[in-house]
């Protein structure tokens, strides 16, 4: 209500370009801003700028390809749980031959929610719901992600304490986290932030190296026995809980599909 009032007062019309692209299932709002900055988006044939608004009837293109009119209120919402193998890159860039979009080969436009680095495996979401993606990725929300980790040295009590307390990496100190030792060289870790290659960097800072890294849970969704390289659509119950945890109310039609 406040946003509509502000637009009325300032005379702004249409919708922000990043929301337009998100609603059209092209990417998240954050990714849309990156595309705009890279000069990949045009509006009526003119290179777009950050913060630009799109009005009804205008032609929007990404990499020269037209983006259809917004149909977010009627499109089927897709949220997949994917068991990503090692070697697959979480990007929508076609120039990366091992990109996750081509690997999945889903018949509709979807994109990964966040990153899981090339050498890691396990659970990652893929979706066409940009708003849900943004809510999951916002660091301030502190959503949990759980991993199984194997390192090249024995997991000591001192290592566990230091990891839990926070480790200096990337000009910051990681948030306190939960760790449970599961074997001589293995442990489980629950993070509430997603710094670049965070677990690997934390371990390196403490003098060891990650041998295997597998994400087994994101918020309320667990990887379970989903085969490597396969995907499934989230259940109605899982989606409902995701909506609750992100504070959103769905406006989408849902469906259920699986592939192995």
- Of the ranges 44-53, 205-214, 251-260, the best mean pLDDT one: 205-214
For residue range 39-88, list pLDDT tens digits in order. 999 998 899 999 899 988 888 998 888 886 544 444 678 999 999 999 99
pLDDT score of 156: 97
Dihedral (Cα; 76, 113, 163, 120), 10-degree rounding: 110
- Cα–Cα distance measured from residue 4 to residue 195, given in angstroms and rounded to the nearest whole number: 35
Catalytic residue at 117?
yes
Whole-number percent of the chain with pLDDT over 90: 57
Average pLDDT over residues 16-40: 85
Residue 129 and residue 252 in contact, taking contact as beta carbons nearer than 8 Å = yes
Count the alpha carbons within 13 Å of 24 in the hemisphere toward its beta carbon: 19
Residue 127 and residue 111 in contact, taking contact as beta carbons nearer than 8 Å = yes
pLDDT score of 7: 42
Better-scored residue on pLDDT, 135 or 10? 135
Catalytic residue among 117, 119, 129, 225: 117
Distance of CA 151 to the CA centre of its chain: 25
- Cα–Cα distance measured from residue 49 to residue 3, given in angstroms and rounded to the nearest whole number: 21
């Amino acid at each position: 209500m406040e946003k509509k009032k502000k637009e009325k007062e300032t005379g702004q019309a249409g919708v922000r370009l990043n929301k337009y692209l998100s609603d059209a299932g092209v990417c998240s709002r954050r990714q849309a801003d990156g595309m705009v900055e890279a000069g990949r988006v045009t509006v009526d044939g003119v290179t777009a700028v950050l913060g630009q608004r799109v009005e009804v009837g205008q032609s929007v293109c990404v990499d020269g390809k037209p983006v259809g009119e917004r149909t977010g209120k009627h499109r089927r919402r897709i949220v997949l749980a994917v068991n990503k193998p090692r070697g697959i890159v979480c990007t929508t860039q076609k120039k990366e031959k091992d990109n996750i979009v081509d690997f999945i080969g889903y018949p509709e436009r979807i994109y990964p929610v966040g990153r899981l680095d090339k050498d890691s495996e396990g659970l990652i979401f893929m979706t066409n719901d940009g708003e849900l993606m943004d809510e999951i990725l916002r660091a301030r929300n502190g959503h949990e992600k759980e991993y199984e980790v194997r390192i090249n040295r024995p997991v000591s009590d001192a290592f566990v304490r230091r990891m839990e307390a926070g480790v200096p990496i990337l000009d910051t100190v990681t948030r306190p986290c939960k760790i449970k030792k599961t074997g001589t060289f293995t442990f489980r870790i629950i993070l509430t932030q997603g710094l670049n290659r965070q677990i690997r960097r934390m371990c390196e800072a403490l003098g060891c190296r990650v041998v295997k890294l597998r994400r087994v849970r994101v918020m309320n969704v667990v990887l379970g026995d989903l085969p490597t390289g396969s995907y499934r659509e989230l259940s109605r119950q899982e989606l409902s809980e995701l909506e609750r945890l992100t504070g959103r109310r769905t406006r989408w039609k849902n469906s259920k599909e699986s592939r192995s």
